[in-house]
Amino acid sequence: MKNNGIKKIIISLLILNFIILIIIGILIYNYIKLCSTEPVVSDFIFSSKEEYNTEDLEIISNKNQQEEKKIKSNPNDWNLLLINKSNKIPVNYSVELSTVENNQKVDSRIVESLNIMLQDARNQGLNPIICSSYRTNNWQSQLYNNKVRKYLSLGYNSEKAKEFASYWVAIPGSSEHETGLALDIVSKSYQILDEKQENTKEQKWLLENSYKYGFILRYPKDKQDITMTNYEPWHYRYVGLENSAYIKENNLCLEEFIEYLKEN
């Protein structure tokens, strides 16, 4: 009887060990299988365009690259010459002038673009005329001094008179008119240089379309703190087609655009 009890215990232990070995084997098998399988998460993330659209990323990437390559201009390009109160006309600056309508003169390099712009405006039934273009330094001095005298007559001291005058007429040596790259264009039906000029059909057309010919409105209403010049809805400056399009699209003044080129 005693021997039979021992046999039963041994058999039970053997069976238990066998079961344990089977369980261990199953665990090892599942572990090996799990390690050899590629993660399912990656397949899920990239499988749905709604969740992660690689085509959209490609478009964005290409757009960014195009944006970086969009402007190849150099701040030192002739058509980007920055003239203002802080940037005087270079001492050795010279310009080849050509006569355009109204016996006005401009830099010869902008004549073709200017003529096409004016003609296209006239094809729309408009009547723009050039009232001022290139000025010599002596002529600019006369205009500036006349404006100073006007403020003096109003009771301002010499310092204030010169300051206020410079917001309307550039200080000699700092006027774009002396470069031949800028000109004043007005409506034939309204030739007064004041803010009402912006209400004429001619100015509305120029404000909307001048960039297509390489010109920009040089002194916009919302940029006076940067240009340090009052709003002049008649003063246009040639900067070139690529530059004018970028300036128009991004609502920049020339000072801001030059700064952008220097930074990029």
User: Which of 50, 232, 242, 249 is labelled catalytic?
Assistant: 232
C-alpha to C-alpha distance for 159 and 170, rounded to whole angstroms: 15
Catalytic-residue membership of 232:
yes
| 114 close to 238: Cβ distance less than 8 angstroms | yes
189-207: b or e for each residue (b if 16 or more CB lie within 10 Å)?
Answer: eeeebeeebbebbbbebbe
Using CB atoms within 10 A of its CB, is residue 232 exposed (0-12), middle (13-18) or buried (19+)?
Answer: buried
Q: CA 49, 52, 58, 63 torsion: positive or negative?
A: positive
Does residue 255 come out as left (phi exceeding 0), alpha (psi in the -120 to 50 range) or beta? alpha
Using CB atoms within 10 A of its CB, is residue 242 exposed (0-12), middle (13-18) or buried (19+)?
Answer: middle
The strand pair at 182-187 and 128-132 is best described as: antiparallel
Which positions ≥6 away from 197 have C-beta within 8 Å?
186, 187, 190, 203, 233, 234
Residue 75 dihedral angles phi and psi, to the nearest 5°: -55, -20
C-alpha to C-alpha distance for 257 and 264, rounded to whole angstroms: 11
Residues annotated catalytic, as ranges: 232
